[in-house]
Amino acid sequence: MNPLLKKFDLAPFSKIKNEHFAPAIKQLIADTKEEVNAIVENTDAPTFINTVEALENTGQQLDRVTSIFFNLNSAETNDEIQKIAQEVSPLLTELGNDLLLNEALFKKVKTVFDASASYELTAEQKMLLDKQYKGFSRNGANLSEDDKNKLRKIDADLAKLKLTFGENVLAETNAFQMHLTQESDLAGLPEGVKEAAAQTAAEKELKGWVFTLDYPSYIPFMKYAENRELRKNLSLAFGARAFQKNEYNNEQNVLQIVTLRHQRAALLGYESHAHFVLEERMAETPKKVLSFLKELMIKAKPAAQKEFDELEAFAKELDTIDQLQKWDGAFYAEKLKQQKFSLDDEKLKPYFKLENVIQGVFTVANKLFGLQFEIDPTIDKYHEDVKTYRVTDAEGVLVSIFYADFHPRPGKRGGAWMTSFKPQQKFHEIDDRPHISNVCNFTKPTISKPSLLTFNEVTTLFHEFGHGLHGMLANTTYNGLSGTNVSWDFVELPSQILENWCYEKETLELFATHYETGEVIPMELVNKIKDSATFHEGMQTMRQLSFGLLDMSWHGSNLSHISKVKQFETNAFGDSALYPETSQTCMSTAFSHIFQGGYSAGYYSYKWAEVLDADAFAYFKQEGIFNKTVATRFKETVLSQGGTVEPMDLYKAFRGQEPNPDALLERAGLLK
């Protein structure tokens, strides 16, 4: 029997074969349709219980199976899985449309919605009803039959295009390698980086050293390699992903995605895709987002330009280069940082052994929220790299299952993310606990060294774990409102606030010990980390703002007349650009956040949430970073509530006030 068609709690990875997915998904789609039909055909008068709650509880097994499948397609994919994804994605899109465009079902939900004042609903029930009603009305329930068919076609096309976009980026990332055979080409690289590159070469049955476009390989090379020509080669390869004249080119995919998104929004009565998306976000309108981004840019631009000019002058003085290029930035910034703060990432890495950092973030979660993490090797997993944990509270009650997958491999897309294999909900009076996963791409251990993280990787681990806590500590009735099912510009608050603990002496002393000597990180280094925290903050802010502006440019109007992706991108970056433009590279063709993931018209949310996290952490700093009262309040008002309450109301319940933007500018050193 197909293991995906049996009821299961823990995902049965070892029993699943690729050929199980398509038949299971097709069968569960049919089962879900039957569940929906039962609601539609119920002759009793529509009520919250027999309509809204019943609809919320449909398709639960399908959701479990598709979460397993699409998580594998991101973390452990292959040609076969990608082919299955292309087959089942349109079927799932069609199911979603069948549901949202079902007139009889919408009529029942609308009947409950219109009579909601006569029901005694909890705040969470009201939110679920509101979300369901808007789900129908915002996704075509009021369209004519002809327009509903157009919407179905657009959604099916978009589902396939987004998959193809991601497959092309992964293929281009995997296709490139820089094979070096002369040791002189490695000048400037730390021993650990060279050893990792030699190990990669050996795995590919090559002599010498191999560097790839995976972050743990790419970033150290760009930061330390003295050979400028090789840095240029690697930088251009990274920037040219899915922008080359080959089968993996994403230019037409980008243009088709933005055109279809605009057509979809117009069909639903919206001015643009951004208008459609932002109606349900804290920011509310494109005008408000652009005002937010441009106001920050006014504050950041002078600092960014000053930092850039200083960096270029430093580089010219050091190496008499003619002009600072993109492949020079990380290299000279690292040298300048070392000169200014006597802080070298390579000197920090021995204090950040991966296992210690993991234990450190667990300790922080324990001190703040009373959580215990116990490794459990009996939990089934999809790859030997994955570590599995049972998470319990102070009384030993299960809170969550936690999967941690931290190293790059060919079947895994780049970057870092949090995901879920099972949501939290209270179903039939049982508190069904969530199964949460963090996936990252950190440097692998070598023969002589364990996995040692850069400080940036430490903050990445804390960031994704913050998302993880949002999922683990969920405490809602309905899974559709549970955990990270919140406004996209609120979802980054739990992740970004946790990064702040990485800069605090009290935290670092918990886990930052030298992997060889056991020495606790010296206070001198802690102070240097804090002192350098705002190094090039102006340039970093401009970089994030430029991505947000590019996203809004792609999604803020009708672009059916655009034919040149690169030219459009260059214009969109506009005043935010600091480095000279390179004709061979294009960010949009590999901008997976907005063309494959869920960040379209939402990339601004990183900066938006930074305002929230800076203000929220200021409260922790004021009361003590491990203050139990503040931590409990944060857990009860933000982490556990999911999307049951409007995000600003949740924030004010925690903080007692709306966020103060000055907290971000002050932390970033941009407040004069």
Ordered by where they begin, the domains of the chain are: 3-142 (1.20.1050.40), 176-239 (no CATH), 350-533 (1.10.1370.40)
Beta-strand ranges (E) seen in 382-540 are 387-392, 398-405, 417-422, 425-427, 430-432, 435-439
Q: Provide DSSP, 302-331.
A: HHHHHHHHHHHHHHHHHH--SS--HHHHHH
Q: Residue 670 has what pLDDT?
A: 78
Q: pLDDT digit string (tens) for 587-639?
A: 999 999 999 988 999 999 999 999 999 999 999 999 999 999 999 999 999 99
d(CA 63, CA 482) in angstroms, rounded, equals 14
382 within 8 A of 21, measured Cβ to Cβ = no
For residue 389, what are the β-bridge partners?
375, 402
DSSP assignment, residue 452? B
CA distances (Å), origin 481, targets 125, 130, 425, 477, 588:
10, 11, 9, 8, 32
For residue 211, what are the β-bridge partners?
178
Q: Residue 668 has what pLDDT?
A: 83
487 within 8 A of 282, measured Cβ to Cβ = yes
CA distances (Å), origin 321, targets 52, 151, 223, 240, 410:
66, 54, 17, 24, 36
Nearest one of 435, 437, 423 to 477, comparing CA atoms: 423
Q: Residue 662 has what pLDDT?
A: 81
Of the candidates 464, 492, 499, 569, the residue annotated as catalytic is 464
pTM of the model: 0.90
User: Would strands 387-392 and 417-422 be described as parallel, antiparallel, or unpaired?
Assistant: unpaired
CA distances (Å), origin 75, targets 22, 78, 241, 271, 484:
19, 10, 19, 36, 20
Q: Provide DSSP, 557-618.
A: S--TT---HHHHHHHHHGGG--SPP-TT--SGGG-HHHHTSS-TTTTTHHHHHHHHHHHHHH
284 within 8 A of 278, measured Cβ to Cβ = yes
Cβ count within 10 A of residue 24: 23
Q: pLDDT digit string (tens) for 378-433?
A: 999 999 999 999 999 999 999 999 999 999 999 999 899 999 999 999 987 899 99
d(CA 249, CA 236) in angstroms, rounded, equals 15
The number of C-alpha atoms within 13 Å of 335 and in the hemisphere containing its C-beta is 20
Torsion, Cα 544 271 256 293, to 10 degrees, reads -10
Which parts of the chain sit beneath pLDDT 50? Answer: none
Q: For 631-671, what is the HEC assignment?
A: HHHHHHHHHCCCCCCCHHHHHHHHHCCCCCCHHHHHHCCCC
User: Would strands 435-439 and 398-405 be described as parallel, antiparallel, or unpaired?
Assistant: parallel
CA distances (Å), origin 596, targets 72, 215, 415, 603:
15, 19, 13, 13
DSSP assignment, residue 417? E
Catalytic, 464? Answer: yes
Q: Residue 672 has what pLDDT?
A: 59
**428 Rama class: left (phi>0) / alpha (psi -120 to 50) / beta:** left
d(CA 569, CA 549) in angstroms, rounded, equals 10
Amino acid at 14: S
Beta carbons within 8 Å of 568's beta carbon, 6+ residues apart = 553, 554, 559, 562, 588
